[in-house]
């Protein structure tokens, strides 16, 4: 039977519960255990699909088409296990399911209440489908004390009593701030957070304490005493140079040993961390540097591009170089010449996005990369903007545009209304709901023999994850290819363009899907490895 590890947070949000969960999962994996990670999000949205990146950061998409929390990206990158829609749930989805049951009469006229009905749904979600796993790590979003999180804390409290003895461990992640005026680290925020957690019936077995400097032994003893936690189970979680140092840092502080001890497990083999050490060494000892400009619209919030950032790091690892990122708000290029911003970079990447704001700036960035022979990578929206640029400036279609921005006489990019998913036809319309109605999840694509992208993948048939509502119009293919923009990849039926490239360019590729979602530190995505390789070549020419 699986054992359960519940990870909660206190004091402030954004302490890194997701990263801590992923790192602990990686450590248990390195000891030979089979792990699964799941995320419980207390907000009322059904999923993050309609939330602004400024609110929630990146929306991570799984193979089965779920729009999920960005922490699932950490889970995949650290453990290599593909997540699915049953690894993330929100209050909104739970209430949606409960109300549907109530309308059907499933509760037989009974009063529907938070306890037991909501908590039972949460418990059923946590326990479902875990056969074959040694450990299930369950992260609860938000912080202890948040009113919307109370049903989740109550549910895991109940599970702590209902699971067999020795099958549930609670880890609480807190902050230990340093007060410069006093010259001291303060334990009170952690004490109050644990007091709040204990007031709802949960006693943490392990404390993980985020801190930017070494915690003196006196303070660790103090935390142990006032939080009712063994001194050895007070685990410092220090800042590290790279997130890929976190598993090793936690192991050095004894996190995985304490977790196994809390379960009463002894004699487990030491973790094999060789591959993590190799990644860490590569990151810390690069053989060179490249600079990539990311021209986007959410550049003030890096979490909006979390998987993209990590995929670029992975591309750097594959080429033994450090990847420096220049974040550029695309609206700047609607008022200014791109040259001062882009002429000295080694590659230009335009990521996914939605809406008209900043679109002309992204088109300008694609045009600059094309004309100045700078490696260009357009992802989803970035591919669409590159196609519009080529339509206007290579094919002479002056009014080329996207219907996403309003009516146009030259809809080079348009709303998808129908496509195939397996043997089923998916149908959408402009008036439909926004949430969950895009082309989502893994879809196959087929590349032309001899295309650059086929050589990069080493295959002409691939599967990648999608998240988009608009599509390049295949009706313009002939005119665009005659002008030099090659439609190298399409859906298997040839109806939906998947990739474009320019043959007489060092590296100019656009893809309609999101390859960053499948990149791993130990398995860098081939497109990112190739893009960074092209950037390295560009840096040698400068």
What is the rounded distance in angstroms from the CA atom of residue 68 to the CA atom of residue 78?
A: 17
Angle at which helices 188-199 and 217-227 cross, to 10°: 20
Sign of CA dihedral 43, 44, 48, 54: negative
CB 69 within 8 A of CB 49: no
The answer to whether residue 380 is catalytic is yes
φ, ψ for residue 531 (rounded to 5)?
A: -60, -45
CA distance 201 to 123: 16
Distance of alpha carbon 280 from alpha carbon 472, whole angstroms: 40
Q: Alpha-carbon torsion 13, 14, 20, 25, what sign?
A: positive
Write out the H or E segment, with its range, that includes residue 341: helix 339-342
Q: How far apart are CA 312 and CA 330, in angstroms?
A: 19
Question: Could you confirm whether 389 is annotated as catalytic?
Answer: no
Write out the E strands in 153-263: 168-175, 178-179, 184-185, 206-211, 234-238
Specify whether the CB–CB gap between 431 and 377 falls below 8 A. Answer: no
* CA of residue 388 relative to chain centroid, distance: 28
CB count in 10 Å sphere of residue 386: 29
Catalytic-residue membership of 314: no
Q: Give the number of C-alpha atoms closer than 13 A to the C-alpha of residue 35, restricted to the C-beta side.
A: 24
Identify the DSSP state of 495. -
User: What are the structure tokens assigned to 161, written together?
Assistant: 């009593």
CA dist 106 to 97, 102, 103, Å?
11, 6, 8
CB neighbours of residue 183 within 10 Å: 7
How far CA 363 is from CA of 142, 348, 351, 402, 476, in Å, comes to 38, 12, 12, 12, 18
Task: Exactly one of 154, 253, 258, 516 is catalytic; name it.
Answer: 516
Residue among 360, 380, 466, 471 flagged as catalytic:
380
CB atoms within 10 A of CB 7: 24
Q: Token match 């590290």: residue?
A: 240
User: CA 11 → CA 14, 107, 223, distances in Å?
Assistant: 10, 38, 14
Say which DSSP state 326 is in: E
Handedness of CA 509, 513, 517, 518 (dihedral sign): negative
Based on the number of CB atoms within 10 Å of its own CB, is 20 exposed (0-12), middle (13-18) or buried (19 or more)?
buried
Q: How many CA atoms lie within 13 A of 418 on its CB side?
A: 5
Q: Which stretches of 392-536 are assigned E, i.e. beta strand?
A: 400-402, 410-415, 418-421, 424-427, 439-447, 461-468, 470-472, 485-490, 497-502, 508-511
Enzyme catalytic residues:
380, 514, 516
């Amino acid at each position: 039977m699986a054992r359960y590890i519940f990870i909660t947070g206190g004091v402030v949000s954004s302490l890194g519960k997701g990263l801590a969960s992923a790192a602990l999962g990686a450590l248990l994996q390195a000891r030979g255990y089979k792990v699964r990670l799941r995320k419980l999000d207390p907000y009322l949205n059904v999923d993050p699909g309609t939330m602004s990146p400024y609110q929630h950061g990146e929306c991570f998409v799984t193979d089965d088409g779920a729009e999920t929390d960005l922490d699932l990206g950490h889970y995949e990158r650290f453990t290599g296990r593909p997540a699915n829609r049953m690894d993330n749930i929100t209050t909104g989805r739970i209430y949606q399911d409960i109300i549907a049951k109530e309308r059907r009469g499933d509760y037989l006229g009974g009063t529907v209440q938070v306890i037991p009905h909501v908590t039972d749904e949460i418990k059923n979600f946590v326990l479902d489908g875990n056969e074959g796993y040694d450990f299930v790590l369950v992260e609860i979003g938000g912080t202890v004390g948040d009113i919307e999180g109370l049903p989740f804390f109550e549910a895991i409290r109940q599970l702590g009593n209902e699971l067999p003895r020795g099958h549930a461990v609670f880890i609480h992640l807190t902050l230990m701030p340093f007060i410069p005026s006093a010259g001291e680290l303060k334990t009170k925020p952690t004490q109050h957070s644990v007091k709040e957690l204990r007031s709802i019936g949960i006693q943490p077995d392990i404390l993980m304490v985020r801190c930017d400097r070494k915690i003196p032994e006196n303070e660790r003893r103090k935390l142990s005493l006032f939080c009712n936690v063994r001194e050895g189970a007070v685990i410092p979680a220090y800042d590290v140079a790279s997130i890929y140092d976190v598993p090793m840092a936690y192991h050095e502080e004894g996190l995985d040993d304490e977790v196994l001890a809390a379960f009463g497990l002894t004699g487990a083999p030491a973790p094999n961390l060789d591959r993590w050490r190799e990644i860490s060494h590569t990151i810390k000892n690069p053989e060179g540097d490249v600079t990539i400009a990311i021209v986007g619209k959410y550049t003030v919030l890096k979490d909006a591009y979390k998987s993209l950032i990590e995929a670029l790091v992975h591309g750097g690892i594959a080429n033994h170089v450090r990847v420096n990122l220049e974040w550029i708000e695309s609206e700047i290029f609607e008022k200014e010449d791109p040259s001062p911003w882009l002429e000295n970079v080694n590659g230009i990447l335009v990521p996914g996005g939605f809406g008209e704001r900043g679109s002309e700036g992204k088109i300008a960035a694609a045009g600059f990369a094309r004309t100045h022979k700078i490696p260009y990578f357009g992802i989803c929206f970035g591919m669409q903007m590159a196609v519009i640029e080529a339509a206007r400036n290579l094919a002479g279609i002056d009014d080329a545009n996207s219907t996403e921005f309003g009516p146009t006489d030259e809809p080079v990019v348009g709303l998808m209304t129908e496509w195939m998913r397996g043997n089923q036809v998916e149908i959408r319309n402009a008036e439909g709901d926004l949430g969950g109605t895009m082309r989502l999840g893994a879809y196959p694509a087929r590349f032309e023999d001899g295309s650059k992208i086929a050589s990069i993948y080493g295959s002409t048939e691939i599967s990648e994850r999608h998240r988009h509502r608009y599509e390049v119009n295949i009706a313009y293919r002939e005119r665009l290819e005659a002008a030099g923009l090659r439609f190298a990849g399409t859906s298997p039926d040839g109806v939906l363009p998947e990739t474009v490239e320019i043959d007489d360019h060092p590296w100019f590729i656009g893809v309609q899907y999101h390859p960053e979602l499948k990149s791993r530190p130990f398995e860098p995505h081939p497109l990112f490895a190739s893009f960074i390789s092209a950037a390295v070549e560009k840096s040698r020419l400068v």
